[in-house]
Structure 1
Amino acid sequence: MTPSDLQFRPLPHNLEAESALLGILLFDNEKLEAIGGQLRPEHFHEPYHQAIFHALRSEAGAGRLADPTLIAGTLVSHPAHQDYGGYKYLAALMEKSPPAPAARDYARQIYDLAVRRDLSRLGDSLKVQAHNFDQTAVAHIADAEGVLFGLAESGDKAQAIVPFAAASARAVAMAEAAFKRDGKLSGISTGLVDLDRKLGGLHPSDLLILAGRPSMGKTALATNIAFHVARSYVWEPDDGAPSGRRTVDGGRVFFGSLEMSAEQLAARILSERSGVPGDRIRKGEADAHEIRLYADAATELSSIPLFIDPTGGINIQKFCARARRHHRQHGIDLIVVDYLQLMTTDLAGGNRTQEVGIITGALKALAKELNVPVLALSQLSRQVEQREDKRPMLSDLRESGSIEQDADCVMFVYRDAYYQARKEPRENTPEHLAWSDEMAHVDGLAEVIVGKQRHGPIGTVRLSFDEDTTKFGNLGRDDRYGHTPSLSREPVYSFAGGGQ
C-alpha cells in the first residue's frame, strides 16, 4: 500500500467488535472485571460507544446493575442517543451479544485498534513537526519517543517502577508497624503463637499454600485462621483506602469455599466458638443448653467481616474478578481459597498441571495486585500413603511444579493420630497396650510443617487439635491468643454467603 493510498484511508477501527463487547457487558456486568482496567472509554472509536462504556463502568463500579433499561436514562442527553434509537439500540446490543468468554478478545482488539489510531495521528504530527525549525530534529525525536513510550505503557498492567528510596521507606514503615503491633508481627496474626513466630504472620502480596491429605484438617486450620483474623478486626477512617477504612488489627476476609457451602463453613466456626461438637449438631443430638450456646455464638459473630463465596468449580478469572470487586466495595485484608484444584481455567485441551499453573500464577498476581495475603489450600498426591513416615514433602504436592514455584510459603498439615487410630490392634493384647501408649503421645496433637518459606526459616510447628470442634490451638502457653475478645469494637459487616 502506497503513502497516497493511506492518505485517504480511515483510521483503524472495528465498530462490530465494539458493539459485540458492549452487548456482552450489558448482558453480564461481571465481564467488566474479566477485561481488567486496560480498556477505557476513549479506546472506542464511536463516541456513542464511548458514552455507553463509560455509563456501564460507572454503574457497575458503584455496585449497581447496568442493563439497557437502567443506563438508557444516563445516556438520554448524549447527542447520538436518539439517532441510534435510544433504548432499542441498547437492547439490540444485548440481544445480539456473542458468547461471554469472547469479551477479552474483543477488548484486546478494541485496545489494539485504539493504539493504531494514536500511532497514525503521531505519524501525521511528526510530518508537521519535521517542518518546525524552532526545535532541533533530535528534540522532535525525543518528543516522539515520549509519546511512543506512553502508548506502550498505556495498557500495561505492570506497577510503576519504584525508586529504592521509596521502597526502603515502605520497608521501614512496615518494621515500625510490626514493632508497635501486639506480638511484634509484620503480617496478620493467625492466632497461633508458634505459627506466627515461624511465619511472622501472613504478609501482604504473599501466596501461601496449605496442603494436606484428606481428614488432616487443612480446611479446619484455614477456617480457624480466617475466623481469628475477622474477629480481631479493628479499623480507623482513611479516605484513601477501599471503603474508607484502614485496617489496624486483624482484617476483612474473603473466603472462596469451593468445596463446602457457606452454611457448612459457618457451622464449623460456630462449633469452634461455642464448644459444641459439630457432629452433635448435625445428628440432632445437641441438648437445649448446647443449642443455646450455638445460637449465642451466631449472634455474637454476626458482625464479623468474614465474607464467603461458595461458588463451586469457579473459573480462576471469575474468582479474581469477584475478589477485586469485593475489595473495591468493602476492602479485603486476607483471601482464602478452599481449594485450588477445584478451580477451572479457560485453557482448552490443556492438561491439569498446566491448568494448576495458570491458577497459582493468577492467585499470586492477585495477591500482589490487591496487596493482601492469599491462603490457598491444596491436595496432596496419594504417594504419601505409600510411605512408612507419612509426613508430607514438597514433592507430594499434587500437580506440584507450579505450586511450589509460585508460592512464597508452603505448609503441610499432619496429624499422626489419624494414622495411628487406624492401626489399632486387637484389644487385651501386648500390641494394643503399646498402641494405647503411642496414641496417648499423639492424640489431640497436630503438626504444621513449613516446607518452603521464601523469606524465612522452614521447620515444624506443633499445635493442639480438638477433633470434636475442629479447633486448632497453642501448645503449652498462656491464653494470649486463645482468650475471647470483646466483639463490641467490630464493624457492622454481616456474615455473607455467595456475594454477587
Structure 2
Amino acid sequence: MNEIAAFNATGIEESGASGELPHSIEAEQQLLGAILTNNDMYDRAASIIGPEHFYDPVHARIYEVAAARISKNALASPVTLKAFLEEEEGLKELGGTAYLARLAGAAISTFAVRDYAQMIYDFAIRRELISLGNDIAAKAQLVDVKSEPKEQIVEAEQSLYKLAEQGQTESGFQSFLKSVTEAVNVANQAYQRGGGMAGISTGLADLDKQLGGLHPSDLLILAGRPSMGKTSLATNIAYNVAKAYKKGINHDGVEGAVDGGVVGFFSLEMSAEQLAGRILAEAAEISSHKIRQGDFQEDEFRRFVEAAKELESCPLYIDDTPALPISQLAARARRLKRSYGLDLLVIDYLQLCRGTAENRVNEIAEISMGMKAIAKELNIPVIALSQLSRQVESRDDKRPQLSDLRESGSIEQDADVVMFVYRGEYYKEREKPDESDLVAMETWQGEMANLHGKAEVIVGKQRHGPIGTVNLSFEPQFTRFGNLVQQWQQGGDQDVGF
C-alpha cells in the first residue's frame, strides 16, 4: 500500500475481508500524523493507549519509537524517526520512510487526538473480546480431565474482569482546585447531616461520633478474639446501612444513595442462611437459638415473619463462597457495583481469603493490600474482620492492642481504621470463684452486674481522627449491639445540669 488507503464509513479498510477484526487504519494514521506534527499531543494519547493497542504493527512501531523520544524530551518528527525505522520491513512495504512524511502531511486536526486514541482503544478492546471468546470456545471444546467446566468459567470470568479494568483514563494528577472542591463537598455533606459525620452512618451514634461515619476508600479492620462478637457487630452495621438505604441525586448530580447504602457481605466462615438468621434475630428481637430450633410463641412467629418481609427490600447481598482468592473477591465486588450498586463491603474474615504468595505473612500482606485497593478503586468503605493472636489471653488486661493483629504488620499499615471488639463480661464470667467463698462471690457478682450487657469498641488506629474507646450495649440473645444509655440519659427528661 503506497498511498494513504481509502476507507469506508465504518473505519475499516474497504479491501478487507468480511471476517477482518475491527480496526481503523485511518484513525491510527491521523493520530500518528498529529503526534509527529505536534509532540505535545502525545500526552493526550498516552493516557489512553499504548503501542499494543494499534492494529497495524508498523503503526505500533512508529508510536513506540516516537514515545521513546518524546519521553526523553527529544523531538519526534518524520526526519528524526527516519534513522530508527529505515530497516523496518513493514515500513518498506508502505513506501519506506517517506510514509512518515505522508502521515504528518495528512493530519487534519491535531486537537482530535484524544478522540482518535479512544477510537483505537475501543477497537483494541473489541479485538481482545473476540480473541477471548475464541479461547473460551476452544477450551470448552477440548474435553480434558484436568480442566473442569467450573474452572473454565472462573478463568473466563477473571479474564473478562481483567479486560474491564483496563483503560481507566481519568486517573493521574488532578488540580488542587478540584481536590479542594471535593473536600468542601464532603464537609458540606457532614454539615447537612447535622455535623459530626461525613460518611455513611453505622446506625450506632457513639461509634459514628468517633469515626465520623464510614468514609469512601477507607479500609476498616474490625478485630477481636473468638466470641467477642465481631461478626455480630459487622452484621449489625451491614443491616443498619442497608435498612437506611434511600436513593436520590447526590451533590455531584449522580444518582445514588443519599442515606444508608447497598451492602455486599462476603461471609467466608458462615453460610448465607446462618448470617440471615442472625440478622433476622436482631430485627425480630427473637433469640437466634430459638430461631434455629423453631421454638416460637405465636406473637414471636408473627414478628419473625414481619421482619422477614421487611428484610426482603433491604439491598443486602451475601456471598458465602469459602476460601475466595482476593482477585475473585475483587471481581465479584466490581460486578455487584455494576449490577446493583455498592456503598459498603464487609468481609468476614480476612484470614479466610486466599492469596498467591507461598509465605503466609506475604499472603496476608497481599490480601490486606488487595482489600485497600478495592476500597480505593470502587470508592467505598471496606470493613474487613480479622482474628487476633492468642497472646491476648496471656495478659492480665485482655484488652487488645495493635501488636495483637495476627500474622502480619501489613494489616495495621494498610488499614485506615483499626477497631477491636472487647467484652469484659466474657472474661469475667470465666473468673467465677467458688460459691463457698462468699466475699469473693459477692465481689464477683458486683463486677458482673457492672459489665453485664456492655461492650467496648477500641479504636486503636484512625488515620483521619482520634483514637479512643466507644462503649456499646450488647444483647447476646439477639446478637445485637446498640447505643449504650448513659446514666445522665436515664429517667427521661431529667435536668442534666446545663
**Is the TM value for this pair above 0.5?**
yes
Match of 1:324 among 317, 334, 337: 334
Q: Given that residues 463 and 474 in structure 1 are in contact (C-alpha distance below 8 angstroms), is that contact kept between their aligned partners in structure 2?
A: yes
Query: Which residue is equivalent to 1:195?
Result: 207
Match of 1:357 among 362, 365, 374: 365
1:180 CA drift (Å): 0.6
Match of 1:376 among 384, 403, 408: 384
Q: Given that residues 408 and 454 in structure 1 are in contact (C-alpha distance below 8 angstroms), is that contact kept between their aligned partners in structure 2?
A: yes
**Secondary structure in 2 aligned to 1:301?**
helix
**Contiguous gaps of at least 5 residues in structure 1:** 12-38, 57-66, 69-88, 111-153, 481-500
- Aligned-partner residue type, residue 304 of structure 1: C
Instruction: Tell me whether 1:448 sits opposite 2:457 in the alignment.
Output: yes
Q: 1:394 to 1:324 in 2, by over 3 A?
A: same
Instruction: Tell me whether 1:433 sits opposite 2:442 in the alignment.
Output: yes
Q: Given that residues 41 and 50 in structure 1 are in contact (C-alpha distance below 8 angstroms), is that contact kept between their aligned partners in structure 2?
A: no
Q: 1:163 to 1:302 in 2, by over 3 A?
A: same
TM-score between the two structures when normalised by the length of structure 1: 0.67
Match of 1:92 among 119, 135, 138: 138
Q: 1:320 to 1:299 in 2, by over 3 A?
A: same
- Aligned-partner residue type, residue 448 of structure 2: M
CA distance in structure 2 between the partners assigned to 1:460 and 1:95 by the alignment:
59
Query: Which residue is equivalent to 1:459?
Result: 468
Q: Given that residues 315 and 344 in structure 1 are in contact (C-alpha distance below 8 angstroms), is that contact kept between their aligned partners in structure 2?
A: yes
- Aligned-partner residue type, residue 429 of structure 2: A
Identical-residue share of aligned pairs (%):
51
- Aligned-partner residue type, residue 432 of structure 1: M
**Contiguous gaps of at least 5 residues in structure 2:** 1-83, 94-119, 490-498
1:163-174 to structure 2, matched below 5 A, reads 163-174=175-186
1:421 CA drift (Å): 0.6
Query: Which residue is equivalent to 1:271?
Result: 281
Q: Given that residues 196 and 209 in structure 2 are in contact (C-alpha distance below 8 angstroms), is that contact kept between their aligned partners in structure 1?
A: no
- Aligned-partner residue type, residue 209 of structure 1: I
Q: 1:439 to 1:248 in 2, by over 3 A?
A: same
1:343 CA drift (Å): 0.2
Q: 1:106 to 1:196 in 2, by over 3 A?
A: closer
CA distance in structure 1 between the partners assigned to 2:237 and 2:158 by the alignment:
39
- Aligned-partner residue type, residue 434 of structure 2: R
CA distance in structure 1 between the partners assigned to 2:87 and 2:157 by the alignment:
32
- Aligned-partner residue type, residue 387 of structure 2: Q
Q: 1:388 to 1:452 in 2, by over 3 A?
A: same
CA distance in structure 2 between the partners assigned to 1:51 and 1:379 by the alignment:
41
Q: 1:459 to 1:240 in 2, by over 3 A?
A: closer
Task: Number of aligned residue pairs: give it.
Answer: 370
Instruction: Tell me whether 1:231 sits opposite 2:239 in the alignment.
Output: no
Q: 1:307 to 1:376 in 2, by over 3 A?
A: same
- Aligned-partner residue type, residue 396 of structure 1: D
1:375 CA drift (Å): 0.5
Instruction: Tell me whether 1:295 sits opposite 2:373 in the alignment.
Output: no
CA distance in structure 2 between the partners assigned to 1:294 and 1:197 by the alignment:
32
Q: Given that residues 210 and 410 in structure 1 are in contact (C-alpha distance below 8 angstroms), is that contact kept between their aligned partners in structure 2?
A: yes
Cα RMSD (Å):
3.4
Instruction: Tell me whether 1:423 sits opposite 2:423 in the alignment.
Output: no
- Aligned-partner residue type, residue 52 of structure 1: I
Match of 2:403 among 389, 395, 398: 395
1:236 CA drift (Å): 1.2
1:201-350 to structure 2, matched below 5 A, reads 201-236=213-248, 245-347=255-357, 350=358
CA distance in structure 2 between the partners assigned to 1:51 and 1:332 by the alignment:
26
1:94 CA drift (Å): 3.6
Q: 1:51 to 1:213 in 2, by over 3 A?
A: closer
Query: Could you report, residue by residue, the CA deviation over 1:202-231 in whole angstroms, capped at 9, with x for unpaired residues?
Result: 000000000000000000000100110000
Query: Which residue is equivalent to 2:422?
Result: 414
Query: Could you report, residue by residue, the CA deviation over 1:75-104 in whole angstroms, capped at 9, with x for unpaired residues?
Result: xxxxxxxxxxxxxx9733543498868889
Q: Given that residues 158 and 328 in structure 2 are in contact (C-alpha distance below 8 angstroms), is that contact kept between their aligned partners in structure 1?
A: no
Instruction: Tell me whether 1:366 sits opposite 2:374 in the alignment.
Output: yes
Q: 1:439 to 1:477 in 2, by over 3 A?
A: closer
1:428 CA drift (Å): 4.2
**Secondary structure in 2 aligned to 1:468?**
helix
Q: Given that residues 232 and 249 in structure 1 are in contact (C-alpha distance below 8 angstroms), is that contact kept between their aligned partners in structure 2?
A: yes
Q: 1:105 to 1:216 in 2, by over 3 A?
A: closer
Query: Which residue is equivalent to 1:474?
Result: 483
1:51 CA drift (Å): 6.2
Query: Could you report, residue by residue, the CA deviation over 1:38-70 in whole angstroms, capped at 9, with x for unpaired residues?
Result: x966447xx8x45625xx7xxxxxxxxxx78xx
1:284 CA drift (Å): 3.3
Q: 1:10 to 1:365 in 2, by over 3 A?
A: farther
- Aligned-partner residue type, residue 445 of structure 1: K
1:359 CA drift (Å): 0.7
Query: Which residue is equivalent to 1:27?
Result: none
**Secondary structure in 1 aligned to 2:484?**
coil
1:162 CA drift (Å): 1.2
Q: 1:301 to 1:164 in 2, by over 3 A?
A: same
Q: 1:388 to 1:372 in 2, by over 3 A?
A: same
CA distance in structure 2 between the partners assigned to 1:51 and 1:400 by the alignment:
39
- Aligned-partner residue type, residue 386 of structure 2: S
Q: Given that residues 239 and 245 in structure 1 are in contact (C-alpha distance below 8 angstroms), is that contact kept between their aligned partners in structure 2?
A: no
**Secondary structure in 2 aligned to 1:318?**
helix
1:5 CA drift (Å): 6.0
Q: Given that residues 272 and 471 in structure 1 are in contact (C-alpha distance below 8 angstroms), is that contact kept between their aligned partners in structure 2?
A: yes
**Secondary structure in 2 aligned to 1:400?**
coil
CA distance in structure 2 between the partners assigned to 1:289 and 1:359 by the alignment:
46
1:426 CA drift (Å): 2.0
